[in-house]
Homo-oligomer: A and B are copies of this chain.
Amino acid sequence: MKNLILIYSGGLDTSVCIPLLREEYGYDQLITVTVDMGQPRADIQQAEEKARALGTEHYTVDARREFAADYVFAAIRANGDYEGYPLSTAIGRPLIATCAARVAERLGVTAFAHGSTGKGNDQFRIEFTLRALVPEPTIIAPMRERNLTRREEVEYALAKGVPVAATAEKIWSIDENLWGRSIEGGRLEEPDYSPPEEIFQWTLPPDRCPDRPREVTVGFQNGVPVSLDGEPLEPLPLIQAAHRIAGENGVGRIDIIEDRMLGLKVRENYECPAAVLLLTAHRALEALVLTRDELAFKRLVDQKWGELAYAGLWLDPLKQALEAFIARTQERVEGEVRLRLYRGSCQVIGRHSGWALYSEALSSFDDKTFDQRETTGAVKTHGLQAQMLQALRARR
Protein backbone atom coordinates (compact mmCIF):
# COMPACT_ATOMS: atom_id res chain seq x y z
CA MET A 1 0.00 0.00 0.00
CA LYS A 2 1.49 3.26 -1.16
CA ASN A 3 0.26 6.49 0.28
CA LEU A 4 0.98 10.03 -0.81
CA ILE A 5 -0.08 13.54 0.02
CA LEU A 6 -1.37 15.59 -2.89
CA ILE A 7 -1.39 19.34 -2.44
CA TYR A 8 -4.86 20.02 -3.69
CA SER A 9 -6.59 23.18 -4.89
CA GLY A 10 -9.66 21.54 -6.39
CA GLY A 11 -8.83 22.96 -9.82
CA LEU A 12 -8.40 20.94 -12.97
CA ASP A 13 -4.63 20.40 -12.75
CA THR A 14 -4.62 18.98 -9.26
CA SER A 15 -7.81 16.98 -9.88
CA VAL A 16 -6.31 15.31 -12.92
CA CYS A 17 -3.40 14.30 -10.73
CA ILE A 18 -5.66 11.99 -8.75
CA PRO A 19 -6.28 9.35 -11.43
CA LEU A 20 -2.77 9.91 -12.77
CA LEU A 21 -1.19 9.16 -9.42
CA ARG A 22 -3.31 6.07 -9.04
CA GLU A 23 -2.90 4.64 -12.49
CA GLU A 24 0.47 5.79 -13.66
CA TYR A 25 2.36 5.98 -10.38
CA GLY A 26 0.60 3.26 -8.43
CA TYR A 27 -0.40 5.26 -5.37
CA ASP A 28 -3.56 3.62 -4.13
CA GLN A 29 -4.02 5.65 -0.97
CA LEU A 30 -4.23 9.33 -1.76
CA ILE A 31 -4.48 12.04 0.84
CA THR A 32 -5.51 15.47 -0.42
CA VAL A 33 -4.62 18.60 1.52
CA THR A 34 -6.23 21.96 0.78
CA VAL A 35 -4.84 24.96 2.59
CA ASP A 36 -7.11 27.89 3.27
CA MET A 37 -5.05 31.03 2.67
CA GLY A 38 -8.01 33.32 2.19
CA GLN A 39 -9.19 32.18 -1.23
CA PRO A 40 -12.99 32.22 -1.77
CA ARG A 41 -15.00 29.96 0.52
CA ALA A 42 -16.52 28.35 -2.59
CA ASP A 43 -13.11 27.18 -3.80
CA ILE A 44 -12.44 25.40 -0.52
CA GLN A 45 -15.84 23.73 -0.63
CA GLN A 46 -15.39 22.73 -4.23
CA ALA A 47 -12.09 21.10 -3.31
CA GLU A 48 -13.73 19.22 -0.47
CA GLU A 49 -16.56 18.02 -2.66
CA LYS A 50 -14.31 16.94 -5.50
CA ALA A 51 -12.04 15.10 -3.10
CA ARG A 52 -15.05 13.25 -1.77
CA ALA A 53 -16.20 12.44 -5.29
CA LEU A 54 -12.76 11.23 -6.29
CA GLY A 55 -12.41 9.18 -3.13
CA THR A 56 -9.38 10.67 -1.38
CA GLU A 57 -8.78 11.13 2.31
CA HIS A 58 -9.12 14.88 2.56
CA TYR A 59 -7.86 17.55 4.94
CA THR A 60 -8.59 21.26 4.86
CA VAL A 61 -6.14 23.32 6.89
CA ASP A 62 -7.11 26.84 7.90
CA ALA A 63 -3.77 28.66 7.69
CA ARG A 64 -5.16 32.17 7.37
CA ARG A 65 -4.04 33.44 10.76
CA GLU A 66 -0.54 32.01 10.36
CA PHE A 67 -0.31 33.37 6.83
CA ALA A 68 -1.35 36.84 7.96
CA ALA A 69 0.86 37.03 11.04
CA ASP A 70 4.00 35.22 9.91
CA TYR A 71 4.11 35.56 6.16
CA VAL A 72 2.23 38.69 5.10
CA PHE A 73 3.58 40.66 8.04
CA ALA A 74 7.13 39.54 7.29
CA ALA A 75 6.54 40.81 3.75
CA ILE A 76 5.35 44.18 5.05
CA ARG A 77 8.47 44.63 7.17
CA ALA A 78 10.58 43.91 4.08
CA ASN A 79 8.43 46.14 1.82
CA GLY A 80 7.95 42.83 0.01
CA ASP A 81 8.19 43.41 -3.72
CA TYR A 82 9.56 41.74 -6.82
CA GLU A 83 9.56 43.92 -9.92
CA GLY A 84 6.37 45.64 -8.78
CA TYR A 85 4.60 42.46 -7.65
CA PRO A 86 3.71 42.30 -3.92
CA LEU A 87 4.53 38.58 -3.84
CA SER A 88 1.09 37.32 -2.86
CA THR A 89 1.14 33.82 -4.38
CA ALA A 90 4.89 33.60 -3.94
CA ILE A 91 4.80 33.87 -0.15
CA GLY A 92 1.78 31.57 0.06
CA ARG A 93 3.41 28.54 -1.54
CA PRO A 94 5.93 27.84 1.22
CA LEU A 95 3.17 27.84 3.82
CA ILE A 96 1.04 25.49 1.72
CA ALA A 97 3.97 23.10 1.46
CA THR A 98 4.65 23.49 5.16
CA CYS A 99 1.06 22.58 6.01
CA ALA A 100 1.32 19.54 3.73
CA ALA A 101 4.56 18.52 5.45
CA ARG A 102 2.88 18.81 8.84
CA VAL A 103 -0.01 16.58 7.80
CA ALA A 104 2.54 14.18 6.35
CA GLU A 105 4.49 13.99 9.56
CA ARG A 106 1.34 13.37 11.55
CA LEU A 107 0.28 10.57 9.21
CA GLY A 108 3.75 9.16 8.67
CA VAL A 109 3.76 9.85 4.93
CA THR A 110 6.91 10.84 2.99
CA ALA A 111 5.61 11.05 -0.58
CA PHE A 112 4.13 14.21 -2.05
CA ALA A 113 2.61 15.37 -5.29
CA HIS A 114 1.67 18.78 -6.60
CA GLY A 115 -0.03 20.03 -9.73
CA SER A 116 2.52 22.60 -10.91
CA THR A 117 3.75 22.53 -14.46
CA GLY A 118 7.36 22.62 -15.56
CA LYS A 119 7.26 26.18 -16.82
CA GLY A 120 6.23 28.13 -13.77
CA ASN A 121 7.56 29.20 -10.42
CA ASP A 122 5.45 27.15 -8.07
CA GLN A 123 7.30 23.90 -8.61
CA PHE A 124 10.44 25.57 -7.24
CA ARG A 125 8.67 27.05 -4.23
CA ILE A 126 6.81 23.94 -3.23
CA GLU A 127 9.55 21.38 -3.78
CA PHE A 128 12.22 23.44 -2.08
CA THR A 129 10.07 23.76 1.02
CA LEU A 130 9.28 20.05 1.09
CA ARG A 131 12.93 19.11 0.62
CA ALA A 132 13.94 21.49 3.38
CA LEU A 133 11.37 20.14 5.85
CA VAL A 134 11.08 16.44 5.09
CA PRO A 135 14.10 14.11 5.16
CA GLU A 136 14.51 12.51 1.73
CA PRO A 137 10.99 12.99 0.47
CA THR A 138 9.56 11.51 -2.70
CA ILE A 139 8.11 14.33 -4.78
CA ILE A 140 6.01 13.84 -7.87
CA ALA A 141 4.90 16.53 -10.27
CA PRO A 142 2.62 14.68 -12.69
CA MET A 143 1.83 17.69 -14.88
CA ARG A 144 5.52 18.32 -15.45
CA GLU A 145 6.52 14.71 -15.76
CA ARG A 146 3.79 13.85 -18.28
CA ASN A 147 4.39 17.07 -20.25
CA LEU A 148 0.64 17.24 -21.01
CA THR A 149 -0.86 19.94 -23.19
CA ARG A 150 -4.06 21.58 -22.01
CA ARG A 151 -6.10 19.65 -24.55
CA GLU A 152 -4.63 16.30 -23.53
CA GLU A 153 -5.32 17.17 -19.94
CA VAL A 154 -9.00 17.90 -20.55
CA GLU A 155 -9.44 14.73 -22.56
CA TYR A 156 -7.81 12.68 -19.84
CA ALA A 157 -10.03 14.33 -17.22
CA LEU A 158 -13.19 13.59 -19.16
CA ALA A 159 -12.12 10.01 -19.72
CA LYS A 160 -11.47 9.52 -16.00
CA GLY A 161 -14.61 11.23 -14.76
CA VAL A 162 -12.84 14.24 -13.33
CA PRO A 163 -15.23 17.22 -13.34
CA VAL A 164 -14.18 19.88 -15.83
CA ALA A 165 -15.51 23.42 -15.35
CA ALA A 166 -17.43 25.12 -18.13
CA THR A 167 -14.98 26.66 -20.56
CA ALA A 168 -16.40 30.16 -20.24
CA GLU A 169 -15.09 30.51 -16.71
CA LYS A 170 -11.70 29.36 -17.70
CA ILE A 171 -10.68 32.20 -19.97
CA TRP A 172 -8.58 33.51 -17.11
CA SER A 173 -6.34 31.56 -14.84
CA ILE A 174 -6.72 32.94 -11.35
CA ASP A 175 -4.90 32.47 -8.06
CA GLU A 176 -6.05 34.08 -4.84
CA ASN A 177 -5.04 34.42 -1.26
CA LEU A 178 -5.66 37.14 1.25
CA TRP A 179 -2.65 39.18 0.15
CA GLY A 180 -3.52 39.26 -3.54
CA ARG A 181 -5.12 37.90 -6.64
CA SER A 182 -3.40 37.14 -9.95
CA ILE A 183 -5.16 36.99 -13.28
CA GLU A 184 -3.41 35.38 -16.24
CA GLY A 185 -4.13 33.69 -19.49
CA GLY A 186 -5.75 34.32 -22.84
CA ARG A 187 -5.08 37.66 -24.43
CA LEU A 188 -3.87 39.03 -21.09
CA GLU A 189 -0.54 37.44 -21.89
CA GLU A 190 -0.03 39.99 -24.66
CA PRO A 191 1.96 42.86 -23.15
CA ASP A 192 0.00 45.43 -25.11
CA TYR A 193 -3.54 44.20 -24.47
CA SER A 194 -5.44 46.56 -22.15
CA PRO A 195 -6.83 44.56 -19.24
CA PRO A 196 -10.64 44.38 -19.58
CA GLU A 197 -12.69 45.53 -16.61
CA GLU A 198 -14.18 42.05 -16.16
CA ILE A 199 -10.97 40.54 -14.81
CA PHE A 200 -11.15 42.61 -11.61
CA GLN A 201 -13.17 41.37 -8.68
CA TRP A 202 -11.63 42.96 -5.62
CA THR A 203 -11.33 46.57 -6.74
CA LEU A 204 -14.09 48.84 -7.99
CA PRO A 205 -13.44 50.54 -11.31
CA PRO A 206 -12.24 54.07 -10.50
CA ASP A 207 -15.22 55.65 -12.20
CA ARG A 208 -17.65 53.74 -10.00
CA CYS A 209 -15.89 54.43 -6.72
CA PRO A 210 -17.37 56.72 -4.06
CA ASP A 211 -17.22 60.36 -5.00
CA ARG A 212 -15.57 61.45 -1.77
CA PRO A 213 -12.00 60.70 -0.79
CA ARG A 214 -11.62 58.10 1.93
CA GLU A 215 -9.02 59.01 4.52
CA VAL A 216 -7.59 56.13 6.45
CA THR A 217 -5.07 55.98 9.27
CA VAL A 218 -2.80 52.95 9.64
CA GLY A 219 -1.08 52.42 12.98
CA PHE A 220 2.16 50.46 13.20
CA GLN A 221 4.16 48.83 15.96
CA ASN A 222 7.42 47.03 15.44
CA GLY A 223 7.12 47.40 11.70
CA VAL A 224 3.69 45.84 11.29
CA PRO A 225 0.20 47.34 11.14
CA VAL A 226 -1.76 47.07 14.37
CA SER A 227 -4.69 49.42 13.86
CA LEU A 228 -6.91 50.99 11.22
CA ASP A 229 -8.48 54.36 11.88
CA GLY A 230 -7.45 53.98 15.49
CA GLU A 231 -9.08 50.61 16.02
CA PRO A 232 -6.68 47.87 17.16
CA LEU A 233 -6.97 44.76 14.99
CA GLU A 234 -5.36 41.35 14.83
CA PRO A 235 -3.37 40.62 11.67
CA LEU A 236 -6.04 38.69 9.78
CA PRO A 237 -8.98 41.07 10.32
CA LEU A 238 -6.68 44.03 9.75
CA ILE A 239 -5.68 42.74 6.34
CA GLN A 240 -9.30 41.98 5.53
CA ALA A 241 -10.41 45.47 6.52
CA ALA A 242 -7.57 47.10 4.56
CA HIS A 243 -8.59 44.94 1.59
CA ARG A 244 -12.15 46.23 1.77
CA ILE A 245 -11.29 49.90 2.21
CA ALA A 246 -8.75 49.97 -0.58
CA GLY A 247 -10.84 47.85 -2.94
CA GLU A 248 -13.88 50.10 -2.52
CA ASN A 249 -11.78 53.02 -3.66
CA GLY A 250 -10.28 51.32 -6.67
CA VAL A 251 -6.85 50.95 -5.17
CA GLY A 252 -4.72 47.87 -5.82
CA ARG A 253 -4.56 47.15 -9.54
CA ILE A 254 -1.13 46.23 -10.84
CA ASP A 255 -0.12 45.58 -14.45
CA ILE A 256 3.49 44.53 -14.99
CA ILE A 257 5.95 42.55 -17.01
CA GLU A 258 7.54 40.03 -14.68
CA ASP A 259 10.60 37.83 -15.07
CA ARG A 260 9.79 34.25 -14.14
CA MET A 261 12.40 32.10 -12.50
CA LEU A 262 13.27 30.21 -15.67
CA GLY A 263 13.85 33.50 -17.46
CA LEU A 264 10.62 33.95 -19.37
CA LYS A 265 9.02 37.37 -19.24
CA VAL A 266 5.28 37.26 -18.64
CA ARG A 267 2.68 39.98 -18.48
CA GLU A 268 0.88 39.81 -15.15
CA ASN A 269 -2.20 41.48 -13.75
CA TYR A 270 -2.73 41.57 -10.01
CA GLU A 271 -5.31 42.94 -7.63
CA CYS A 272 -3.70 43.61 -4.26
CA PRO A 273 -5.73 46.27 -2.46
CA ALA A 274 -4.53 45.50 1.07
CA ALA A 275 -0.94 45.20 -0.08
CA VAL A 276 -0.88 48.52 -1.91
CA LEU A 277 -2.45 50.33 1.05
CA LEU A 278 -0.33 48.78 3.79
CA LEU A 279 2.98 48.81 1.92
CA THR A 280 2.50 52.47 0.97
CA ALA A 281 1.89 53.32 4.60
CA HIS A 282 4.83 51.24 5.81
CA ARG A 283 7.27 52.89 3.44
CA ALA A 284 6.08 56.34 4.48
CA LEU A 285 6.66 55.55 8.13
CA GLU A 286 10.11 54.13 7.51
CA ALA A 287 11.03 57.39 5.77
CA LEU A 288 10.25 59.24 8.99
CA VAL A 289 12.07 57.05 11.51
CA LEU A 290 15.00 55.38 9.76
CA THR A 291 18.23 57.21 9.04
CA ARG A 292 19.17 58.03 5.47
CA ASP A 293 21.81 55.32 5.52
CA GLU A 294 19.42 52.77 6.95
CA LEU A 295 16.90 53.61 4.22
CA ALA A 296 19.46 53.31 1.45
CA PHE A 297 20.91 50.02 2.67
CA LYS A 298 17.53 48.55 3.54
CA ARG A 299 16.60 49.02 -0.11
CA LEU A 300 19.29 46.49 -1.01
CA VAL A 301 18.15 44.18 1.77
CA ASP A 302 14.52 44.47 0.71
CA GLN A 303 15.39 43.87 -2.94
CA LYS A 304 17.25 40.68 -2.06
CA TRP A 305 14.47 39.61 0.31
CA GLY A 306 12.00 40.04 -2.54
CA GLU A 307 14.11 37.92 -4.87
CA LEU A 308 14.34 35.12 -2.30
CA ALA A 309 10.63 35.30 -1.47
CA TYR A 310 9.78 35.21 -5.17
CA ALA A 311 11.93 32.11 -5.52
CA GLY A 312 10.11 30.49 -2.61
CA LEU A 313 13.31 30.29 -0.55
CA TRP A 314 11.43 31.05 2.65
CA LEU A 315 13.74 28.81 4.66
CA ASP A 316 16.99 29.99 3.12
CA PRO A 317 19.61 31.07 5.66
CA LEU A 318 20.26 34.28 3.74
CA LYS A 319 16.60 35.20 4.13
CA GLN A 320 16.91 34.62 7.85
CA ALA A 321 19.97 36.86 8.05
CA LEU A 322 18.22 39.57 6.04
CA GLU A 323 15.31 39.34 8.45
CA ALA A 324 17.65 39.81 11.40
CA PHE A 325 18.76 43.07 9.77
CA ILE A 326 15.17 44.04 9.10
CA ALA A 327 13.98 43.20 12.61
CA ARG A 328 16.57 45.53 14.10
CA THR A 329 15.38 48.42 11.98
CA GLN A 330 11.69 47.73 12.57
CA GLU A 331 11.91 48.23 16.33
CA ARG A 332 11.43 51.93 15.67
CA VAL A 333 8.83 51.61 12.91
CA GLU A 334 6.03 52.69 15.19
CA GLY A 335 3.46 55.42 14.70
CA GLU A 336 0.66 56.36 12.36
CA VAL A 337 0.33 57.15 8.69
CA ARG A 338 -2.64 58.92 7.13
CA LEU A 339 -3.58 58.22 3.53
CA ARG A 340 -6.18 59.51 1.13
CA LEU A 341 -7.78 56.98 -1.21
CA TYR A 342 -9.75 58.25 -4.17
CA ARG A 343 -10.82 56.52 -7.34
CA GLY A 344 -7.73 54.43 -7.77
CA SER A 345 -5.13 56.71 -6.21
CA CYS A 346 -3.55 56.27 -2.78
CA GLN A 347 -1.69 59.29 -1.38
CA VAL A 348 0.12 59.70 1.93
CA ILE A 349 -0.96 62.98 3.52
CA GLY A 350 0.58 62.78 7.00
CA ARG A 351 2.63 60.68 9.42
CA HIS A 352 3.92 60.85 12.97
CA SER A 353 6.02 58.72 15.30
CA GLY A 354 7.70 58.85 18.67
CA TRP A 355 10.82 57.71 16.80
CA ALA A 356 10.64 60.41 14.12
CA LEU A 357 14.11 61.70 13.34
CA TYR A 358 12.23 64.92 12.81
CA SER A 359 10.77 66.61 15.85
CA GLU A 360 10.22 70.03 17.24
CA ALA A 361 12.66 69.46 20.06
CA LEU A 362 15.38 68.44 17.66
CA SER A 363 14.61 70.96 14.98
CA SER A 364 15.46 73.64 17.49
CA PHE A 365 18.91 72.46 16.51
CA ASP A 366 18.10 73.96 13.19
CA ASP A 367 17.49 77.43 14.51
CA LYS A 368 19.51 77.97 17.64
CA THR A 369 22.48 75.68 17.77
CA PHE A 370 23.13 75.70 14.09
CA ASP A 371 25.57 78.36 12.92
CA GLN A 372 25.27 78.42 9.14
CA ARG A 373 28.82 79.64 8.76
CA GLU A 374 30.13 76.33 10.02
CA THR A 375 28.90 74.62 6.87
CA THR A 376 31.46 76.41 4.75
CA GLY A 377 34.12 73.75 5.13
CA ALA A 378 31.77 70.94 4.24
CA VAL A 379 30.70 72.79 1.11
CA LYS A 380 34.30 73.38 0.07
CA THR A 381 35.29 69.74 0.42
CA HIS A 382 32.08 68.45 -1.19
CA GLY A 383 33.16 66.38 -4.18
CA LEU A 384 36.80 67.19 -3.42
CA GLN A 385 38.22 64.34 -5.46
CA ALA A 386 36.03 65.23 -8.42
CA GLN A 387 37.31 68.80 -8.13
CA MET A 388 40.90 67.50 -8.14
CA LEU A 389 40.15 65.43 -11.19
CA GLN A 390 38.68 68.42 -13.04
CA ALA A 391 41.87 70.33 -12.24
CA LEU A 392 43.96 67.48 -13.67
CA ARG A 393 41.81 67.38 -16.78
CA ALA A 394 42.06 71.11 -17.29
CA ARG A 395 45.82 70.86 -17.21
CA ARG A 396 46.00 68.30 -20.04
Contacts and interface: CB of A to CB of B under 8 A. Distances in A.
Interface stretch (A18-26, A157-165, A236-244, A259-267): A259-267
A220 to B, nearest CB: 14
A49 B48 CA distance: 70
A372 to B, nearest CB: 3
Contacts of A194: 338, 349-350
A135 B259 CA distance: 24
Interface in A250-264: 250, 253, 255-259, 262-264
Contacts of A128: 379, 382-383, 386-387
* Identical copies of this chain, number: 4
Best-surrounded residue of A211, A355, A371, A381 (most CB of chain B within 10 A): A381
A63 B381 CA distance: 28
A177 interface: no
Interface stretch (A3-11, A71-79, A167-175, A300-308): A300-308
A201 interface: no
A373 B321 CA distance: 34
Contacts of A328: 317, 320-321, 324
A338 B375 contact: no
Contacts of A322: 297, 325
B266 A358 contact: yes
Contacts of A253: 347
Interface of A: 83-84, 117-119, 123-124, 127-128, 131-133, 135, 141, 143-145, 147, 191-195, 206-207, 211-213, 250, 253, 255-259, 262-267, 284, 287-288, 290-301, 303-304, 307-308, 311-313, 315-318, 320-322, 324-329, 332, 338, 342-345, 347-352, 354-359, 362-363, 366, 370-392, 394
User: Sorted from nearest, which 4 A-B pairs have the closest CB atoms?
Assistant: A118-B372, A374-B377, A263-B384, A259-B292
